[in-house]
Amino acid sequence: MRNIFIGLASAIALGTAFTAVGQTAALWPPADKAVQIIVPGPGGGSTSDSIARLIADELGKRLKGNFIVENHAGVNGNIGAGIAAEASNDGSKLLFSWAGTLAVSPSLYNKLPFNPQSSFDAIGLIATVPNVLIVSNSMPVHNMAEFTDYVKQHPGVVNFGSTGNGSSMHLAGELYMGETSTNMVHVPYSAPSQATNNLVSGEIQSMFQLIPGIIGQIKAGKVRALGVMATERSSALPDVPTMAEQGYPNLISSTWFALLAPKGISADIIERCNQALNEILQDPEVKQKLAAMGAIALGGTPQDLDRRLTSDLKKWQKIIRGANIHVQY
């Protein structure tokens, strides 16, 4: 008889636990306060900020809650990610971040206020923005074969600009040199606009820029696009072939964006948020808005994000160590 009572007590306790978990998701997002989406970068219409605000608005519509963006810029996103890592895991705060902070920073900096794999639980991939190789109109090249031949004929002479050591543009250039056994000169800038202006004027010869940051100059004919560093062409630049189409299948470089949560958040909240995120990214209107920014909608499971992060951590660690790149925190 005692065993029966113990069994009943256990069953009741287990059922109560399952009910509590279900209620956690059912009560999320809370009706009385906003869910903060921490963006570890500046506001003001940057690509990351624009995508984050689009997703926040759409999550609010689908989950019947209030999602607001909180910008915490600094040190390649490391400050904001550190704030998110220390946040409560009750679902009141989420992290919108990207490859540069999550997959690159661990190899660039000796010390970080977060661990990209142990500090967060994955929710899902959102979008990817590819790099594109662009050259000054003064360069006598019109495709990847001509560009590579020119660089090989002028070792240590052709330069490429970036927004700083360890930036997506810098690492894309290092990837290119490693894959083609070429030697170019890296010219880091602190202001993206200055780098772009110097490319247009011919003071620097090339850049591995992210599409949103250069699409206006490409369409205006101020610079020449040679190849998109993605597996498929960008709808924003449909006439520009991919690197793979031109014989360089390993020249894949992009900045992907993702949604995560502080470690230990309810699995039910992750499932609910991931489901809503995938619905958002399958919406034709949302896809169109992302495409207008030069971004490609992704989506998928939390495990897809985990796999992407693991793969890119290894990829960029190899390139950063091979190029001996270091950045002081």
Q: What is the CATH number of the domain that holds 196?
A: 3.40.190.10
pLDDT band at 193 (very low <50, low <70, confident <90, very high): confident
3 state DSSP class of 249: coil
Both 295 and 156 in one domain: the answer is no
Say whether both 194 and 216 belong to one domain. yes
In a domain, 5, yes or no: no
Same domain, 187 and 94: no
Q: Domain containing 55 — which CATH number?
A: 3.40.190.150
Q: Answer yes or no: is 155 within a domain.
A: yes
Are 184 and 239 in the same domain? yes
Question: What's the burial of 298, exposed, middle or buried (CB within 10 Å: 0-12/13-18/19+)?
Answer: buried
Same domain for 214 and 307, yes or no, is: no
Q: What is the pLDDT of residue 192?
A: 81
Domain assignment present for 1 = no
Same domain, 20 and 160: no
Sign of CA dihedral 176, 41, 294, 278: positive
279-305 per-position pLDDT tens digit: 999 999 999 999 988 899 999 999 999
Same domain (yes/no): 27, 110: yes
Average pLDDT over residues 157-176: 94
Give residue 59's pLDDT band: very low, low, confident or very high (50, 70, 90).
Answer: very high
Cβ atoms of 37 and 68 closer than 8 Å: yes
Is 99 found in the same domain as 19?
yes
Asked if residue 4 belongs to a domain, the reply is no
Q: Does the residue 58 lie in any domain?
A: yes
Q: Strand 206-210 relative to strand 296-297: parallel, antiparallel, unpaired?
A: unpaired
pLDDT, tens digit, 9 for 90 and up, residues 81-120: 999 999 999 999 999 999 999 999 999 998 999 999 999 9
Contact 54, 290 (CB under 8 A): yes
Q: Could you tell me which residues come within 8 angstroms of residue 322 by beta carbon, excluding any fewer than 6 positions away?
A: 174, 178
86 shares a domain with 224: no
Q: Where is the domain boundary, 207, 228, 246?
A: 246
* Of the residues 194, 220, 246, the one at which a domain ends: 246
> Count of domains in the chain?
2
Whether 78 is covered by a domain: the verdict is yes
Question: Cα 49 to chain center, whole Å?
Answer: 12
The DSSP code sequence of 9-61 is HHHHHHHHHHHHHHHHHHT-S-SSSPEEEEESS--SS-HHHHHHHHHHHHHHH
Amino acid identity, position 273: C
Angle at 58 between CA 283 and CA 126, to 5 degrees: 65
47, 135: one domain: no
Range of the structural domain that residue 63 is part of: 10-128+255-323
pTM of the model: 0.86
- Out of 212, 229, 246, a domain closes at 246
Structural domain contains residue 329: no
Q: Does residue 27 lie within any of the structural domains?
A: yes
The confidence score (pLDDT) of residue 220 equals: 97
Residues 212 and 76 placed together within one structural domain of the fold: no
Distance CA 250, CA 101 (A): 22
Answer whether residue 11 shows pLDDT above 60: no
More confident call, 1 vs 131: 131
Q: Tell me, yes or no, whether 154 and 190 share the same domain.
A: yes
pLDDT at residue 18 above 50? no
